[in-house]
Amino acid sequence: MGLRDVLLGAYERRLAASLKQQSLPRHVGVMLDGNRRWAKENGANTAQGHQAGADNISPLLEWCEEAGVEVVTLWLLSTDNLRRPPEELEPLLRIIAGVGDELSAPDKPWRVRAVGALDLLPQETVEALKRAEERTAERDGLTVNVAVGYGGRREIADAVRSLLQEHAAAGTSIEELAEVIDVDHIAEHLYTKGQPDPDLVIRTSGEQRLSGFLLWQSVHSEFYFCDTLWPDFRKIDFLRALRAYGTRQRRYGK
């Protein structure tokens, strides 16, 4: 171990010790951005970049567990990404299926949930994600939402559609529904229903936009934008995000 590693380890421990338990987030959303740029900078092909990003997911979840985070939402593939060329998309979907297998392995304590417009995905990808859900349904560890084929506008449209279908089946007229519908009714039909909204949303790679990620749920979230490309994201970067979160004064509009 070199001097740089020793210094980084000391800095990491000091960062962790400085965090205030009462100021830590319950739900962290992560936009895993920068795999393709990482591949280009490291002389790798695009699939190798996506695999490098996938390999960094389990370490992140371990850091979240150590910090006491209860829910993590990982945005792996957007609805817009589904328009990428087949030569990129097909290997990426196989890598995502592999992520589902890894996160649901017997030695992992996490509970996996697939969120997104799964009807837009190939059947084999859906089956892999559903297997991960089934294998982990009884686990009581960190809840991991794997957002694949996810778009914030699509999620809201799906929630409204589900709400309308539910009330139509119960015989509720449109007029009656219009009288009683509120934000809580819609929230009950989101992909993340029953979960706390994200307290902290992290985006890597230097981009400073949400791109529709957790569009409804992030209304009171704190955002942390990090220049590091996702495959290079380290525990120190995560702890810095938590430190920044702990300094924010969350007023919820008050």
CA–CA separation, 93 and 125 (whole Å): 7
Are 27 and 199 in contact by the 8 Å Cβ rule? The answer is: yes
Is 42 a residue of the active site? no
Which of these, 184, 106, 111, 119, lies nearest to 143 by C-alpha position? 111
From 55, 56, 81, 158, active-site residue: 81
Are 151 and 76 in contact by the 8 Å Cβ rule? The answer is: no
Beta strands, E only, the chain:
27-31, 71-78, 111-115, 143-150, 200-203, 222-225
Is 145 a residue of the active site? no
From 5, 33, 101, 158, active-site residue: 33
Token readout for 3 is 């001097």
Write down the residue that tokens 């790679």 correspond to: 205
Which of these, 76, 41, 45, lies nearest to 60 by C-alpha position? 76
Element spanning 57, H or E: helix 57-67
How far, in Å, are 37, 42, 43, 84, 86 from residue 46 at the CA level? 9, 10, 10, 12, 12
Which active-site residues does the annotation give?
Answer: 33, 81
